[in-house]
Amino acid sequence: MILIADSGSTKIDWCLVDEGKIVKQIFTCGMNALLLTEEEMELRVASELAPQIADYSVDEVYYYGAGCVSDEVCGNVRQAISKSIKADIIEVHTDLLAAARALCGHRPGIACILGTGSNSCYYDGNTIVDNVSPLGYILGDEGSGAVLGKLLVGDVLKNQLPRELCNKFLAQYELDRMTIIRRVYKEPQPNRFLASVSRFLIENIEEPSIHRLVLNSFKSFFVRNIANYADYRNHQVNFVGSVAYFYRDVLSEAASAMDCTIGTIIQSPMEGLVKYHSQH
């Protein structure tokens, strides 16, 4: 039996898979491997996951997670899992490889994440062979929920949107200038705050000024990321993540403007990962 994990900072989606079929799906608290110690991760696996799979024999574990950016960090996660799950194989990889395998399977292509943050890679059908650094929402993360939110609140506070839209936004989220500045500059995880208010954009996407903001951010994603991959025009660009999924019409419009071809767009990688590991 195979155990697959899609881990973010807020939640982990675990799936027990037997002969290509999901036997059990479990959700636990998220783990960012860069922010937690091996002991903290070990405790979470032992307390939140292990009791729920105690009746199953797990042979292989494939964990894809936020913060799994180096061999050392991946090794810490592997050790933490191995204390509770005695599987023959325990592999730990980045969430970007999860996106690539879910979107492309064993075929080469360009795979992207477009959610709270953004990322992309060229994938050869087995591993990631090229990656443009996302750089985070301050220096990069073009097209992400955090950057869309950042552009939105900036335009609201600098009166770059129609007055009625600005008032509507501030009233809907019960915000004012000083509250926004405090949430962004003084409170933890401003990227999550910015991503949370970006929902206003999809709710008002028919407004020309909102549509233009989103379209330009997606165009920037293609220019600053996808155009860096060799021969990118001859490859489909595939996406996983809520932003890509819910804004797919505007994303397709941006791709067309940048001479790129959209392939698959999915909200979550799990279905594709189940298929990938069942065929592996």
What digits encode the pLDDT tens for the residues 152-170?
Answer: 999 999 999 999 999 999 9
What average pLDDT does this structure show over 206-231? 94
Q: For strands 118-123 and 109-114, give the pairing.
A: antiparallel
What CATH code is assigned to 2-87? 3.30.420.40
Report the alpha-carbon distance of residue 84 to residue 79 in Å, rounded.
9
Nearest alpha carbon to residue 190 among 205, 204, 179, 200: 179
pTM score, whole prediction: 0.85
Give yes or no for residue 66 having a pLDDT over 90. Answer: no
Q: Please measure the distance between the N-terminal and C-terminal CA atoms of the chain and give it in whole angstroms.
A: 13
Give yes or no for residue 77 having a pLDDT over 80. Answer: yes
Give yes or no for residue 2 having a pLDDT over 70. Answer: yes
Opening angle at CA 188, ends 76 and 78, nearest 5: 10
Q: What digits encode the pLDDT tens for the residues 123-142?
A: 998 899 999 988 777 888 89
pLDDT band of residue 62 (cuts 50, 70, 90) is: very high
All structural domains of the chain with their residue ranges: 2-87, 107-268
Helix (H) or strand (E) holding 21: strand 21-29
pLDDT band of residue 224 (cuts 50, 70, 90) is: very high
Would you state the torsion angle of the CA atoms of residues 24, 91, 102, 42, taken in this order, to the nearest 10 degrees?
A: 50
pLDDT score recorded for residue 189: 82
Hey, what are 12's tokens?
């982990």
Q: What digits encode the pLDDT tens for the residues 168-204?
A: 999 999 999 999 999 999 988 888 899 999 999 999 9
Same-fold call for 2-87 versus 107-268? yes
Number of H helices, E strands in the chain: 13, 10
Mention every residue, 6+ apart, whose C-beta is less than 8 A from residue 209: 155, 160, 161, 162, 165
| SS3 at position 36 | coil
What CATH code is assigned to 107-268? 3.30.420.40
